[in-house]
Structure 1
Amino acid sequence: IHRGFTIVGCLALPDEISFVDQSQIISYDKQIIAIAEEYKVDEIVIARDDNRLGLPLDELLDCRMSGLTIMNIMGFYEREQGIISLENIYPSWLVYCSGFAQGDLRLLEKRFFDVFASLLLLNVAWPFMLLTALAILLENGFKGPILYRQLRVGEKNKNFELLKFRSMKVDAEKNGAQWAQKNDNRITLVGRFIRKSRIDELPQIFNVLRGDMSFVGPRPERPEFVQGFNERIPFYRERHRVKPGITGWAQLCYPYGADEYDTIQKLQYDLYYVKNYSLFLDFSIMLNTVEVILWGKGAR
């Protein structure tokens, strides 16, 4: 856990089936506030699917009024790990929780930020983009396209054409759509460098200026993958409530993913971003992305 918490123990309610190791369970033989005082507890986390049914609310209220912090497991994961835990989420929580606001003013300020950041980056990056285009042409004997155009799913499930510098062989997907793997032999020599340095993503500046993407947001996936994810992964479609981004919270917090398990893990970070969006969060993600680019973390 990120902030050095010490787990004092778990308090199982009467008749509750517990999957916690017995050595971690505290005997419920007195009032909760007395147990908290005995173990010098600072915070109580409610780890139940329903926060109302069967809970000793009067005892918890005594704890709350005495200065203890009371929070549910969703809020705990959100605060400490920067995720919305899919194991604990339920539809009513999405309806009643704070966040997920997408008002006109917020959309306007984000659009202004996107355009400003994109023009600033373009002004700095254009020499590298020009050299990259030349390197791709030279490596392939002036054959094949410089840019790779691929259909992706954007805001409100609308498809758009994403732009990237081509980093793979021309016939890389002759057998259909597939994720890039470690040491993928479809990637060219120039491609390995521009993927590691993230230069291959720079043409997406034009996607942002065109309004298809945002500078920061969930990474857009291909329609071939999204259709299956929507059917198999709960709440996956919620990540499309906002525009996809060149960089994002999931890209910073989770390594490159190449299977459905990784997609589920990254979705938890994407939902956190959608819920907690702010210009400050966007700016923080951009600054941390610079570190990722400099150290080449997560690229394939």
Structure 2
Amino acid sequence: MIRKNQRFLTQLYVLTDFAFIQIAFLLAWWLKFESGWIEHTPPLPVETYFFWSLVYGFVSVFLGTMMLLYSPKRKKRFADEMVKIIQVHFTSLVVLLSLMFFFKQVDISRDYLAIYMVANLILILLYRYFLKMSLKHFRKKGYNKQFVLIIGAGSLGRRFHDNLRQYPELGYEIIGFLDDNPELGSIESSRYKPVLGAVDQLEEILKDKMIDEVVLALPLDAHARYSKIISICEKIGVRTLIIPDFFDYLPARPYFDNFAGMPMINVRDIPLDLSGNRLAKRLFDIVFSLVAICITSPVLLAVAIGVKLTSQGPILFKQERVGLNRRSFQMYKFRSMKVLPEGTMDTGWTTENDPRRTKFGVFLRKTSLDELPQFFNVLAGHMSVVGPRPERPYYVEQFREEVPKYMVKHHVRPGITGWAQTNGLRGDTSIEERINHDIFYIENWSILFDIKIIFKTVVNGFVNKNAY
């Protein structure tokens, strides 16, 4: 019954999103072409605009389904839902523009498109926020409640009990505990719900009380009992959730995954593991890099001439770096140092007053202009515009032993700039702090986060006081 209700709600969300997209079309059309507030040339037929609005609606609903926008939301924060909505509609806009370009539909008004996209986001975010707040209000009042039974009255069960009570807007009410330890029956107080009986009484209690979800908070040595407990819950028609007893030892926010048809716990939640997110980031990287190369082409030419005129050797410097999934690649930079003698390995940090630097190279490194060729690495797929900075294999081998979680950074493509760099962690700074910032970025990635980092990079300037 619960699953049928969830399917119904999912379908309702899909239809409502699609309807609001068409309402946004009507609003954008009226504002641009009917209101008289904006000057315009005679438009294409309204049927043309309506057709592309329908296309956009189907694309956004499809991508929303692929990116799990319509998954159950009772346990999720609205902030997470908002980020997901923006990601879906940004990606849908890229797809729409690509289709319009492919079908040579280039006469659509740019003003209309801008109004249409803003209206889409505002309308959908407003209705979703209103719905979320309304449901929270009614749940606090006692409507639409879900009743929970906790199996295990030990520290893990009590911790879950305390956590859940901090979120009354979720609409969950704890009925009580089941536990075989008679001493834990003494936890009955105003703070905790009562221990209703032993674990073997589960079937009897499920038949006697209205319970929607059973949460298993048993120690690992009770693992053998899980099969019987789950079977009883399935027989009665109650959902079962398991809190792993090794919860405190997991290194990050875990989530359940599926691998080769087997359920398992993934210890690190990485948004870029989702194909929709990877596609959105890759499209963003390609578009941003092409624009950046076009805008900076005069600077690229000037720097290339400057390198050539001020020192002997090639204009570009190639260096092996470790990237996505620990694969090595050649990273490009404008050469800022003297050419090393043949056979010499470059394994040293650049230091202040380093004699290997050229005079023009000092300027390039201070202003980060030597990094501009890395936009070509982005186009080649070796790097991203935003991500953890890549390091040389020599140092990767060294840091992987010395710095906890150092290798986590290689779960995503390295970047030209990153969260660590925008917080001043560039050049001769703490590796541990950099890794903490890199992991935070990896676990909290979004297109908006990338844009924020790029904005901070531009606002903070490209001058690096730690670069020698």
CA separation of 1:207/1:55 partners in 2, compared to 1, >3 Å: closer, same or farther? same
Distance 1:65 1:246 in 2: 40
Aligned residue in 1 for 2:337: 168
Query: Secondary structure in 1 aligned to 2:321?
Result: strand
CA separation of 1:291/1:182 partners in 2, compared to 1, >3 Å: closer, same or farther? farther
| Contact preservation (8 Å) 2:426, 2:464 | no
| Contact preservation (8 Å) 1:198, 1:293 | no
TM-score (norm 1): 0.67
CA separation of 1:238/1:53 partners in 2, compared to 1, >3 Å: closer, same or farther? farther
For the pair shown, the structure with the greater C-alpha radius of gyration is: 2
Structure 2 residue 428 is the aligned partner of structure 1 residue 258: yes
Distance 1:98 1:210 in 2: 28
Percentage of matched positions with identical amino acids: 38
Shift of 1:294: 4.9
Aligned residue in 2 for 1:241: 411
Distance 1:183 1:287 in 2: 31
List alignment gaps of at least 5 residues for structure 1.
1-51, 68-88
Deviation digits for residues 40-78 of structure 1 (CA, Å, limit 9, x no counterpart): xxxxxxxxxxxx9599749955983699xxxxxxxxxxx
CA separation of 1:56/1:118 partners in 2, compared to 1, >3 Å: closer, same or farther? same
Aligned residue in 2 for 1:44: none
Aligned residue in 2 for 1:282: 450
Aligned residue in 1 for 2:382: 212
Shift of 1:227: 1.2
Q: Relative CO higher for 1 or 2, CA cutoff 8 Å, sep ≥ 6?
A: 1
Structure 2 residue 337 is the aligned partner of structure 1 residue 195: no
CA RMSD of aligned residues (A): 2.8
CA separation of 1:223/1:286 partners in 2, compared to 1, >3 Å: closer, same or farther? same
Aligned residue in 1 for 2:277: 106
Output the amino acid matched with 1:108: L
Aligned residue in 1 for 2:298: 127
Which one of the candidate residues 324, 327, 335 is aligned to 1:158?
A: 327
Distance 2:413 2:395 in 1: 18
Output the amino acid matched with 1:150: Q
Output the amino acid matched with 1:272: F
Shift of 1:188: 1.2
Deviation digits for residues 153-180 of structure 1 (CA, Å, limit 9, x no counterpart): 0000000000000011112894641112
Query: Secondary structure in 1 aligned to 2:318?
Result: strand
| Contact preservation (8 Å) 1:168, 1:191 | yes
Aligned runs of 1:42-191 on 2, under 5 Å?
A: 57=159, 60=162, 64=166, 90-96=249-255, 99-101=269-271, 102-140=273-311, 143-171=312-340, 174=344, 176-191=346-361
Shift of 1:281: 0.5
Aligned residue in 1 for 2:207: none
Output the amino acid matched with 2:449: L
Distance 1:216 1:288 in 2: 12
Answer 1 or 2: which has greater helix percent.
Answer: 2
CA separation of 1:65/1:293 partners in 2, compared to 1, >3 Å: closer, same or farther? closer
Query: Secondary structure in 1 aligned to 2:254?
Result: helix
Shift of 1:90: 4.7
Query: Secondary structure in 1 aligned to 2:350?
Result: coil
Give the 4+ runs in structure 1 shifted more than 6 A: none
| Contact preservation (8 Å) 2:385, 2:415 | yes
CA separation of 1:91/1:112 partners in 2, compared to 1, >3 Å: closer, same or farther? same
